[in-house]
Amino acid sequence: MSNATAIKKRPLLIQLWWLLRHRPGHFWIKAWGHLSFWHARVMRAIFGCGAGIDLDPTVRLQNNRSLLAEQPHARIKVGAHTIIYRFARIEAYGHAKIEIGECSIIGDLRIASRYKVSIGKRTLSSWNVFIQDFDPHPLEAGKRRRQVEEMVSDFRPAFGSFTPGAEPPTWSFPGDEILIGDDVWLGANCIILKGARIGAGSVVAAGAVVLRGEYPPGSLLAGNPAKIIRTIDSDPPT
């Protein structure tokens, strides 16, 4: 066991002292991070989590603004002991439901959902992971043109007037739920899109783009579009 690993098992003040001596730059990052988790917890105690958001009391959320559940129907639920770092953005719109299982570690993860995103227990999310269960824009150029013009005309502040060229149709967002099993590792810069169902114990490699499909437990997924490279042998749970 390395000296740094042994120090991590010591009380917080010992950890901070060791960092101050050996890694002074990391000392301030660690101290600020610890305080920000406490600050977010105090703010939740005073103002609540927000409508539609259900956090287990043991969840460690570094930035309360990471979670957004559009009212009145969207819901977000996070299980016990999960850690969500400050750059995560987890957003549920319409009637969407987002669930994150217990003991998960969520880094720089972006979830945008209009259907359902279910993430299992002990999920490990690396940096710049993107999960989206719907298509935000039409494939047809004419429909997309009208949508973009409508978005531009509605944007505020407006520095001049703009009138869309045609009345936009009622927009729909085609999509399908995303299911991710227990004990999955989501590598850096991976993308998971609508209809993906990833089995327990799988690994999504860095930069992989996972499209609609059933991926059995223990899959190592890599590439664009992602394919099963091999099956991972899993240790039995203890």
User: For 107-160, what is each residue's pLDDT tens digit?
Assistant: 999 999 999 999 999 999 999 999 999 999 999 998 888 889 888 888 889 898
Which are the contacts of 26, defined by CB distance < 8 A and separation ≥ 6?
19
Distance (Å, rounded) from C-alpha 181 to C-alpha 120?
5
What separation in angstroms does the CA of 78 have from each of 15, 53, 132, 149?
28, 8, 18, 37
What separation in angstroms does the CA of 102 have from each of 81, 106, 122, 143, 235?
6, 11, 6, 41, 20
- The 3-state DSSP class for residue 16 equals helix
Q: Residue 206: phi, psi to the nearest 5?
A: -55, 130
- The 3-state DSSP class for residue 188 equals coil
- The 3-state DSSP class for residue 214 equals strand
CATH number of 50-135+173-232: 2.160.10.10
- Residue 1 — pLDDT band, cuts 50, 70, 90? very low
User: For 7-34, what is each residue's pLDDT tens digit?
Assistant: 556 677 777 777 677 777 766 777 788 8
User: For 59-89, what is each residue's pLDDT tens digit?
Assistant: 999 999 999 999 999 999 999 999 999 999 9
